Each structure stands twice: as C-alpha cells, then as structure tokens.
C-alpha cells in the first residue's frame, strides 16, 4: 500500500471515529430530563425509601397517563426533597416537574422506564392478612390488575411489590377524593371495608 493511500485511510479514521463515539455516547446517556427523574426515583426507577413508588417496569401507557394526570392537576403532587444527586436543590413536586416537560419528553420518559425491569420492595408485612388480601384481590381487583397486581400490560400500574407506605397514601387520596378514579374503581372501593384495604396491602407487599 502506498503512502498516499495510507494517509487517506488514516484521515478517514480520524474523522469517522469521533462521530461513531458521539453516536454511541448519545445513545447510552439519557437526556437531562430523564436523569432529573433519577434524582428522586433512582437510576433504575427504584428508590428504597417507602414513600417513593417504583416506576420501572410499568407500561409506557400507564407512566405517560400518570404524568399527564399530574400535569392536569387531577393527581395530588406531594412536595418532596431530592434523594440522589444534588440533594441541596430546593424541594419540588411532580406537577412542577411535569409542567416543564413537553409531550414528547413525557413519552420518552415513559418509554425509558417501561423498558426497565420492575424491582419489588423488600419490606415487612402482616403474613396473617396475606390470604385474605389475595381473596379480596381475586374478587374485587383482578379484573383491572392482572396476575396478583404484577402485570404491567394491563396498563393499571404494578401493585405487587410496591412500597406499602406508598400504597397506603394512594388509597387515602382515592378515598378522600384527592385522586381521581374511574367509575369501575369507585364502585369497587365502595364495597371494601377498612380491614380489606389492610389485607390487600399485605398481599401486595408479600410479593417480593
């Protein structure tokens, strides 16, 4: 191979390799509006703190509809401090965060976390209530929450393995009217007693 051809190939590599590197970096590094989510929900969409829901593994449809519910003001947005990254940043809430996002960014966040595996919370639960909770789930909740509340493809969120404290807060918001629910869920909640809710939470917490 002559020197002239060698120089041309070398020049091509010098120009081409940085472009390849740039493409791979941009493909593997999430956008800032996604890494901002990680400051509360963790890198993998799981936070071991009990007031934070696990968002990894839920369907993109569910995550997207949840974010729009915050944006539309039909879901309570609790003020929270940052848990990871720069924890000195001022506390914020989900409505403030989502109001700053475009519809395209919301869709990309939903798709990003939907592709991650769900991580069940390791937590204590009342073993004595699990069987009752399973029975209540099968008779009242199964129609919308498949496979014991663990199926992401029903687009109803993942209940099995969620933090019990988070589920308790969600139930409170449903029952006091702070959080919107559809007609079917409203009819179901009217049939449940306080003990049924405790049993359901134990059943979901037992799936670790």
Number of domains in the chain: 2
Asked whether residue 27 is domain-assigned, the answer is no
pLDDT tens profile 27-70: 578 999 999 999 999 999 999 999 999 999 999 999 999 999 99
Amino acid 194: pLDDT: 85
Please say whether the beta carbons of 94 and 70 come within 8 A.
yes
Between CA 138 and CA 96 the distance in angstroms is 37
Computed on alpha carbons and rounded to an integer, the radius of gyration of the chain in Å comes to: 22
Q: Could you say which DSSP state residue 154 is in?
A: G
**Whether residue 146 is found in the same domain as residue 87:** no
Domain of residue 201, residue span:
127-205
Question: Which of 59, 93, 114 is at the close of a domain?
Answer: 114
Which of 93, 114, 135 terminates a domain? The answer is 114
pLDDT tens by residue, 177-193? 999 999 999 999 999 99
Confidence at residue 28, expressed as pLDDT on a 0 to 100 scale: 72
Give pLDDT tens digits for 102-159.
999 999 999 999 999 999 999 999 999 999 999 999 999 999 999 999 999 999 999 9
Rounded Cα distance between 47 and 10, Å, is 48
pTM of the model: 0.85
């Amino acid at each position: 191979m002559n020197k002239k051809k060698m120089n041309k190939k070398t020049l091509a590599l010098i120009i081409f390799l940085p472009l390849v590197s740039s493409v791979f970096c941009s493909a593997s590094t999430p956008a800032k509006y996604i890494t901002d989510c990680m400051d509360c929900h963790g890198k993998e969409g799981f936070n071991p703190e009990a007031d934070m829901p696990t968002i990894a593994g839920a369907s993109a449809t569910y995550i997207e509809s949840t974010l729009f519910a915050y944006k539309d003001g039909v879901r309570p947005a609790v003020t929270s401090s940052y848990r990871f990254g720069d924890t000195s940043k001022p506390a914020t809430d989900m409505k403030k965060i989502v109001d700053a996002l475009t519809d395209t960014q919301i869709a990309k966040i939903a798709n990003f976390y939907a592709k991650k595996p769900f991580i069940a919370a390791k937590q204590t639960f009342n073993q004595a209530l699990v069987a009752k909770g399973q029975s209540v789930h099968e008779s009242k909740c199964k129609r919308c929450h498949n496979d014991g509340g663990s199926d992401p493809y029903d687009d109803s969120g993942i209940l099995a393995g969620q933090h019990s404290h988070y589920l308790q807060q969600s139930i409170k918001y449903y029952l006091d009217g702070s959080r919107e629910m559809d007609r079917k869920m409203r009819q179901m909640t009217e049939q449940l007693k306080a003990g049924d809710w405790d049993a359901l939470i134990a059943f979901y917490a037992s799936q670790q």
